[in-house]
Structure 1
């Protein structure tokens, strides 16, 4: 008689502790990308890195269509009408960079769709956040408290970073206290 125990069935074991969010989303991103023809989801998730920030600001990939005979695919880009001529002149550059992402000549054509990214009812005005006013320097008392809180640190760079952090926290707390008193 053998004293071997029967092997336990192998199940997907979860990691202990923190898990990367990408692991939870990988399958959903892959399924959404494949429904539009994107076999490599990296093209969607890293579009600005693939084609460059100038082109990525003006064009977005919409779908990849494959021909019936399977030779070469067509990448369709969504472009606003005003930037379409510039993107049109960059088609070959875009095709080369996307093919470099795939690792082979997957894309044979790049077509442009000139529509707004939002519907007609939504405005096309881009609202930038208001510029922030420069933050006043912390008071001498706050600087002294921050210096005292980081006093025991031997590393000069770490001490300076801790002093700056303490000054930010103390000045924010002082600002919040002053706002409460004003109310």
Structure 2
């Protein structure tokens, strides 16, 4: 008699030994949730930045795909902040083309925008990623030298660094 995990037991009833990849554990749940919203291809949900590009993915999220009777193609509803909606509106043909490339055929005929605030609505709050921070430009060498000279008499390193930064900001603003 074979014990569980040995012998000819069905592969479906047995679990893998050791760790399983998280994607394998969640694959069925993601597919079920996606299909309930009309997403036959879950890649559209899971790889949205790759489908539409990083810039559009920062400000948009796919919400659902609606199929209407008798109409050719489906309607993709995309969530966007109200402040970004005019810019995204101009790129709707680009979004439609890229999504259809993901599906492999002209599955989407229309793209609708749903505007929302980035916070609110306790369930399913829209999470949009912010643009990466831009490093401030380095100040000219003469300003750095003057700020270092101004804070030079301070013994505490942390305080001296803070005073140098403050002096640099003041000197830069005076010159502009």
Q: Which residue of 1 aligns with 2:50?
A: 49
Residue 28 of structure 1 aligns to a residue whose secondary structure is: helix
Q: Are the aligned partners of 1:78 and 1:117 in contact in 2 as well (CA < 8 Å)?
A: no
Q: Are the aligned partners of 1:72 and 1:105 in contact in 2 as well (CA < 8 Å)?
A: yes
1:94 aligns with 2:95: yes
Which whole-Å CA distance do the structure 2 matches of 1:120 and 1:29 have between them?
22
Q: Are the aligned partners of 2:80 and 2:115 in contact in 1 as well (CA < 8 Å)?
A: yes
Q: Which residue of 2 aligns with 1:162?
A: none
Query: Bigger shift: 42-51 or 69-78?
Result: 69-78
Normalised TM-score (structure 1):
0.59
Q: Which residue of 2 aligns with 1:39?
A: 40
Q: Which residue of 1 aligns with 2:23?
A: 22
Q: Which residue of 2 aligns with 1:106?
A: 107
Q: Which residue of 2 aligns with 1:164?
A: none
Q: Which residue of 2 aligns with 1:10?
A: 10
Q: Are the aligned partners of 2:79 and 2:114 in contact in 1 as well (CA < 8 Å)?
A: yes
Residue 25 of structure 1 aligns to a residue whose secondary structure is: helix
Residue 57 of structure 1 aligns to a residue whose secondary structure is: helix
Q: Are the aligned partners of 2:58 and 2:130 in contact in 1 as well (CA < 8 Å)?
A: no
How many corresponding residue pairs?
120
Closer, same or farther in 2 for the Cα pair 1:120/1:26, shift >3 Å?
A: closer
Which whole-Å CA distance do the structure 1 matches of 2:55 and 2:102 have between them?
18
Structure 1 position 69, deviation (Å)? 1.8
Residue 34 of structure 2 aligns to a residue whose secondary structure is: helix
Normalised TM-score (structure 2):
0.61
Query: What is the RMSD of the two structures over their aligned residues, measured on CA atoms?
Result: 2.8
Q: Over residues 118-160 of structure 1, what are the superposed CA-to-partner deviations in whole Å (9 max), with x where a residue is unaligned?
A: 32799x9x999xxxxxxxxxxxxxxxxxxxxxxxxxxxxxxxx
Which whole-Å CA distance do the structure 1 matches of 2:33 and 2:89 have between them?
27
Unaligned runs of 5+ in 2: 1-6, 132-176
Structure 1 position 114, deviation (Å)? 1.4
